Chain A
Amino acid sequence: MNDPIMADMRSEYSKSLIQLGHDNPNVVVLGADTTDSLNISGFGKQFPDRFFNVGIAEANLVTISAGLAASGKISFASTYAIFLPGRAVDQIRNNIAYPSPSGKKGLNVKLVSSHGGLSVGPDGGSHQQIEDIAIMRVIPNFRVFIPADTVSVSKLTQLMASEYGPFYMRMARSKVPIVHSESQEFKIGKGITVKDGSDCTIAACGITVRMALEAAEMLQQDGISCRVLDMFSIKPIDNEILEKAARETGCIVTTEEHNILGGMGSAVAESVSESYPVPIKRIGAQDMFGESARDSEIHLLLEKHGITSFNMAKQAKELRNKQL
């Protein structure tokens, strides 16, 4: 594989927000003292009347976003993942997801976090949110996205703005490789087949999509045809693409920078076990917290939890061997 082009999700998010700000006067953006870090302060400079920085008060951030949405605004509320689902789950549930105006489900708030997963790096385990998918996908009315790259961030931000209802989207802190083409379509509840294959499947999300592609390449060298899915839409999950993968490839490895309990892997396992059960192996944080790692060491932290291309390929092979 060629060296990937690396790009920053937060800058892309900021750019998308500013575009939305121009397109739709109802878009409002809220932050909690991380607005420079998340780049959303750019929106604030262009649209000061529609930008609110509530300070280090995430519960307040979430509930004010809900109040704005109750009055017809499209609220984008952002801070680090650890402080959103990780901190304000009561407000997320009771102030955004639960209130359902006539004929609608939940309020029109988009929670977009940065610094998801282990790749947060140096800040350490206290800041590495590995539970947010589990928390967010069990809350009724919420839809959950994990974008793999900046193309995804841009398209999903627009998608969330145009689609009524509560969404959670988690971005990574560090620059990420671009895996999708600009023409890639994103639909709610539809996974993307990034690479086709017939012998096994790796279902990935976020930064692990690129790793999965690398794993597929390794498997290719061993004569194994591996399918790679970008399961960016974790809720709703794409049952169809998963059943197809199960039927056609016979086994699925899941991979994510999230606890293996309750995350994307769990969602895949739930789906496949009901449609077409096949062996599944979940790769992710091994039900233990993360720890500090400098940017140059993040791969070591990920490796500690088995989140590497090599391990993905290895697990895929093992699953395949079980079947043969």
Chain B
Amino acid sequence: MGLNYYQIKKNVLRARKLVIKATNTAGSGHPGGSFSMAEILGCLFNKHLKFNAQDPQWVDRDRLVLSKGHAAPGLFSNMAVAGYFPESEIETLRKFGSRLQGHPDLKCPGVEFCGGSLGTGLSYSIGIALAAKIDSKDHHVYTIIGDGESDEGQVWEAAMTASKYKVDNLTAFLDRNFIQQDSYTEKIMPLDEKLDGDDISEMWKDASRWKTGDKWRSFGWNVLEIDGHRVEQIDAAITKANATKGVPTIIISRTIKGKSLEHMEDNPQWHGKAPDSDVVPIINSELDSQFLISPSIIAGDMSNLENEVKRCVTGRSDLIHLDVMDGQFVPTKTFDHIKIKELRPLTVIPFDTHLMINDPVKHVNDYIDAGSDIVTVHAEVTDESSFGEIHDILKQHQVGVGFAINPDTELPEWSYKFLSSLDQLIVMSVIPGKSGQKYIEETHSKMSRLNSILNENNFSGCIEADGGVNLENIGSVFADGARAFVGGGAIVGQQDVRSAIKDFRNVVLKSRRRMLLDKANQLGGSDLVNKWIGLHVIGTKQEEIKKIAQECGYL
């Protein structure tokens, strides 16, 4: 089975939007901590957790214990997406008579643990895990604890106990977002090395100072440390944890409180506060415009693709774009599934396989087996029947479904019916076949034509811009609607892939900030623009956004 990356991402986005809706309607609640664990819950609900939403008490279900119970909106929104109750019910959060209490409660079928008083969820989970062992059941217990609640001594009582009783049917996540109610965790009660000075953001950039894992190791736990917003890392860690016998596992997940919304990220104010109604539409736009950078390794040294993959890993790319060319569909030949299979063990970063080959339907299984996380095939070499077949095979294997069109190809009408379940649409902005070409300007107008077709057909995937994307044009390509960006020469062709990716991100970020300011201005003029800017209090964001607003004439 594939990673199901795109489906997880889609549902994480849906859940995040529901958190905003829920807390906004309630007028209170905890969005920050709901967002820091959003990908963790997304991976659990959409991949690993065994449950039956129609039969929440199914005896063999896995148990999910949310020890950091204040992040209830995050749990409830995932339960809504998973079908435990209608999504509309999320609006009853914290209201009189609702099953969706301010903190998770057994009143809502499917909730396993009444959270709220911190520091107790791990002990409770041990109880559940021990019961499973007594009964020789093989269901698993997943527990999410917060870093703030790790101040509680009971967490460490539980840590010792889990170790003593070898509770290997329990996997804990530490949502290490560095923020608790009063302020940054390292100021209130340090879990890591003592931090000097005020620049707390330096803390999570410097992995050598993270000592939390050592604490858990010394308590006898199997410790895995990951980026808690990377679906592929979470997935790999859960798989590893489940295979570890004889000791409990904790996945220390470095996360960002309020992740996905610039004004909430790393901002202690958003521990327990609801967003105002007037900014909700802007927030939703921001959530909709998360983006991915996908370096194309054929722009590097073709004789050492292993090294190119490694450079993408160090560069912290979101995806790795693999251009498969057969010398027939395009004049050039690159590599095939055998190479991809060789590259697969090098990283868990999703492989964004782009098949520029004839008869893709004949080969799609090879690319699934090779470890692709999405397989994109071309409109020019598929028809309704063969694409239908490819689509179904990919979905069956939980691999993303991609569709690509060349610069001179319009989206064929037969493909419209697939648009709502498509994960990615690659809009080529160069003639495929070789790296290093110039972006075809006509693509901009093509994008606006495409957008209306995509909207009409409920496309909820990601548009990937491929060809000649560079720092000069990526901002406008984002504004066109692209949310994934293939970088050939402009990333892999650079000496320092990491800084090239960072530059890409910064330019897209700037374009996104402008887009959100446009939205604020449209909805509420300069008052809302000012309010939006005023929300961004961490670091230098406010000044930067203000500058953009001035450039746009909104101030």
Contacts and interface: CB of A to CB of B under 8 A. Distances in A.
Interface string B107-135: 10100111011011001111111111111
Interface stretch (B153-161, B470-478, B534-542): B153-161
Interface string B153-196: 11001101100010000000000000000000000000000000
A63 interface: yes
A68 B109 contact: no
A67 B129 CA distance: 8
A104 to B, nearest CB: 9
A63 B161 contact: no
A46 to B, nearest CB: 15
B116 A94 contact: yes
B130 A95 contact: no
A91 B115 CA distance: 11
Given A63-B123, A63-B127, A65-B127, A71 B132 contact: yes
A73 B157 contact: no
B106 interface: yes
B157 A59 contact: yes
Given A71-B127, A71-B132, A90 B117 contact: yes
Nearest to A53: B164
Nearest to A25: B134
Contact of A60 (B57, B106, B130, B154): B154
A101 B124 contact: no
- The winner among B105, B117, B125, B153 for most chain A CB atoms within 10 A is B117
B123 A59 contact: yes
A211 interface: no
Contacts of B105: 99
Contact of A99 (B57, B113, B125): B113
A51 to B, nearest CB: 11
A234 B105 CA distance: 29
Given A59-B154, A63-B154, A102 B106 contact: yes
A164 interface: no
Contacts of A71: 127-128, 131-132, 135
A67 B157 contact: no
A247 interface: no
A71 B57 CA distance: 10
Interface string A80-124: 000000000011001100111110000000000000000000000
Contacts of B109: 102
A133 B328 CA distance: 85
A72 B131 contact: yes
Contact of A95 (B114, B133, B165): B114
A70 B63 CA distance: 11
Nearest to A67: B127
A205 interface: no
B154 A73 contact: no
A41 to B, nearest CB: 16
Contacts of A63: 120, 123-124, 127, 154, 158
A65 B128 CA distance: 9
B262 to A, nearest CB: 36
Contacts of B133: 49
Interface residues of B, number: 32
Contacts, number: 102
Interface in A30-56: 49-50, 52, 54-55
Nearest to A70: B128
B127 A68 contact: yes
A67 B106 contact: no
A64 B120 CA distance: 9
B106 A99 contact: yes
A135 interface: no
Contacts of B124: 63-64, 66-67, 70, 95
A88 to B, nearest CB: 9
Contacts of B106: 99-102
A71 B113 CA distance: 11
Contact of B127 (A59, A64, A90): A64
Q: Which of B106, B157, B165 lies at the interface centre, i.e. has the most chain A CB atoms within 10 A of its CB?
A: B157
A96 to B, nearest CB: 10
Interface string B376-397: 0000000000000000000000
Given A94-B117, A94-B120, A101-B106, A67 B154 contact: no
A100 B111 CA distance: 11
A68 B127 CA distance: 4
Contacts of A59: 119-120, 123, 153-154, 157
Interface in A294-310: none
Contacts of A99: 105-106, 113-114
Contacts of B160: 55, 57
A102 B133 CA distance: 24
Given A63-B123, A64-B126, A94-B117, A54 B131 contact: no
Given A59-B157, A70-B112, A99-B106, A64 B123 contact: yes
A272 interface: no
A146 interface: no
Among B57, B154, B165, chain A packs the most CB atoms within 10 A around the CB of: B154
Nearest to A59: B154
Nearest to A60: B157
Contacts of B57: 102
A50 B112 CA distance: 22
23 contacts: A63-B123, A63-B124, A64-B123, A64-B124, A64-B126, A64-B127, A64-B158, A64-B161, A66-B127, A67-B127, A67-B129, A69-B127, A71-B128, A71-B132, A71-B135, A72-B135, A91-B117, A91-B120, A94-B114, A95-B124, A98-B114, A101-B106, A102-B57
Interface of B: 57, 105-107, 109, 112-114, 116-117, 119-120, 123-135, 153-154, 157-158, 160-161, 165
Interface of A: 28, 49-50, 52, 54-55, 57, 59-60, 63-73, 75, 90-91, 94-95, 98-102
Given A63-B154, A95-B120, A99-B114, 14 more contacts: A57-B154, A59-B154, A59-B157, A64-B158, A67-B129, A67-B131, A68-B131, A70-B112, A70-B113, A70-B127, A70-B131, A73-B134, A94-B120, A95-B114
